[in-house]
């Protein structure tokens, strides 16, 4: 791997790590933030809702700007805005200030994530597209480690404000290092929008695949902690290990990404999604035994990584001139699923526990696998994965 390529991948991976860490940060810090700001846990978590709404709005409205002005330029602007939002979070005088700051972070994240995926497509050498994207996606592993484990430990030592301040400093450092990305993913001068992206052939099915994969993931993920603490009667710290094991599997899956380059989305998507469904069923069987559940979480991370890699590759290959707008739609659908998953999962968790959520997720994965079978009949689907 060329040094310049390696550096670009590290920058993009770290950008995902910072964005993801912020999105996960409030959950383990909710009690500390509430005590300091004199707010209830529900009031504090409204800041997370403000973040999610900001992401969805920016992904829909700002991400297409990357097609016109360049994904690198949009990413740099988003990183600067994210640094400001994180700094404002650290200095928030009350819960409303934190909500406003997190809304700013959401706008930045919604513009940055589609740009990151677009840049991953731009820098990937031919024949190594899935490996390049897979390396960038390991930023989500970084975010899980920082968001779930390291941030809680650091908050105990230095306070929650110091955690946000450190993330703000790291983001501004990334902004400085990303200057070279201004020339990556050059603009085509084409004005794009969600409406133009929705006319791209294949986008409707691609967004359906996104909804099936993401709703299935979050409908289970959001209730794993409740299962460990309420059903298994274990500690919050033990509940925090499950996403850590999931993140480990997600990171380890990068070793399998070269196989995706050889198989291509047409041949790989349906089998990978069937394995995702199988893992949900495995977790149902292991749900009553904590050590087995942790082991299943590693497998969950591996196959979710591969499924996500194939999905992003599929979407960004639909129309290279509109990658920003397409990935904006992808992020919007993802965050709609983040919003909907607690309601869908909650209806199942109350009567049937985590097993109900897992059965629902398995059905959605099976539906996604059935949809992916059609990729085999698309021209070029059997070749190596298209530029991601």
In the block, tokens 């309601």 appear at 343
Mean pLDDT within 119-143: 81
pLDDT at residue 35, as a whole number: 85
At 3, the pLDDT band (50, 70, 90 cuts) reads very low
Spans of all domains in the chain: 3-191, 196-377
Range in 9-13, 92-96, 188-192, 193-197 the model is least confident about: 188-192
Mean pLDDT within 233-260: 85
If one compares 270 and 341, the residue with the highest pLDDT of the two is 270
Cβ within 8 Å of residue 383, ≥6 positions away: 264
Q: Which of 56-65, 174-183, 377-386 has the highest mean pLDDT?
A: 56-65
Q: What's the chain's average pLDDT?
A: 84
With a pLDDT cut of 90, the percent of the chain lying above it is 37
pLDDT at residue 385, as a whole number: 35
Read off the pTM: 0.80
Q: Are 190 and 302 in contact (CB under 8 A)?
A: no
Q: Are 283 and 356 in contact (CB under 8 A)?
A: no
pLDDT at residue 382, as a whole number: 39
Return the CATH number of the domain spanning residue range 3-191.
Answer: 1.20.1250.20
CA-wise closest residue to 238 among 248, 228, 226? 228
CA-wise closest residue to 376 among 219, 252, 265? 265
pLDDT at residue 359, as a whole number: 97
Q: Which two tokens stand for residue 247?
A: 């993140």
Crossing angle of the two packed helices 290-316 and 129-137, in degrees rounded to 10: 130
Mean pLDDT within 256-280: 89
Cβ within 8 Å of residue 204, ≥6 positions away: 198
* pLDDT for residue 367 is more than 90: yes
If one compares 102 and 49, the residue with the highest pLDDT of the two is 102
pLDDT at residue 343, as a whole number: 82
| pLDDT, tens digit (0-9, with 9 covering 90-100), for 275-311 | 999 999 999 999 999 999 999 999 999 999 999 999 9
Q: How far apart are CA 98 and CA 336, in angstroms?
A: 22
CA-wise closest residue to 370 among 263, 271, 260? 271
pLDDT at residue 380, as a whole number: 39
Three-class HEC string of 343-363:
HHHHHHHHHHCHHHHHHHHHH
At 108, the pLDDT band (50, 70, 90 cuts) reads very high
Which CATH superfamily does the domain covering 196-377 fall into?
MFS general substrate transporter like domains (1.20.1250.20)
At 181, the pLDDT band (50, 70, 90 cuts) reads low
If one compares 291 and 325, the residue with the highest pLDDT of the two is 291
Q: Which two tokens stand for residue 287?
A: 């749900």
């Amino acid at each position: 791997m060329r040094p310049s390529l390696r550096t670009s991948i590290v920058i993009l991976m770290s950008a995902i790590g910072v964005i993801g860490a912020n999105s996960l940060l409030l959950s383990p810090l909710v009690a500390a933030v509430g005590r300091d700001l004199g707010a209830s846990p529900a009031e504090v978590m409204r800041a997370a809702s403000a973040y999610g709404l900001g992401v969805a709005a920016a992904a829909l409205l700002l991400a297409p700007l990357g097609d016109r002005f360049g994904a690198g330029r949009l990413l740099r602007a988003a990183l600067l805005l994210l640094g400001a939002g994180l700094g404002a979070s650290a200095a928030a005088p009350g819960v409303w200030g934190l909500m406003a700051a997190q809304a700013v972070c959401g706008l930045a994240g919604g513009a940055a994530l589609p740009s990151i995926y677009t840049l991953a497509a731009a820098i990937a050498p031919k024949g190594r597209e899935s490996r390049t994207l897979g390396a960038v996606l390991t930023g989500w592993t970084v975010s899980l480690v920082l968001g779930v484990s390291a941030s809680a430990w650091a908050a105990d030592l230095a306070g929650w404000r110091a955690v946000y301040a450190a993330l703000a400093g790291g983001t501004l450092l990334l902004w400085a290092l990303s200057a070279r990305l201004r020339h990556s993913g050059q603009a085509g001068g084409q004005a794009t929008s969600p409406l133009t992206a929705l006319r791209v052939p294949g986008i409707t099915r691609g967004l359906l695949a996104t909804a099936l994969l993401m709703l299935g993931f979050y409908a289970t993920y959001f209730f794993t902690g409740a299962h460990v603490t309420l059903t298994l009667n274990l500690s919050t710290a033990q509940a925090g290990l499950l996403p850590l094991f999931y993140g480990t599997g997600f990171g380890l899956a990068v070793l399998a990404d070269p196989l995706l380059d050889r198989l291509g989305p047409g041949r790989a998507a349906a089998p990978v999604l069937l394995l995702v469904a199988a893992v949900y069923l495995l977790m149902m069987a292991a749900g009553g035994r904590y050590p087995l559940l942790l082991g299943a979480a590693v497998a969950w991370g591996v196959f979710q990584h591969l499924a996500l890699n194939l999905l992003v590759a599929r979407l960004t290959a639909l129309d290279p001139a509109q990658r920003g707008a397409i990935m904006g739609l992808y992020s919007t659908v993802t965050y709609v699923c983040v919003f909907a998953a607690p309601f869908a999962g909650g209806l199942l968790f109350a009567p049937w526990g985590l097993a109900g959520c897992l059965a629902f997720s398995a059905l959605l994965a099976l539906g996604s696998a059935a949809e992916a079978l059609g990729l085999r009949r698309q021209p070029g689907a059997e070749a190596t994965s298209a530029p991601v």
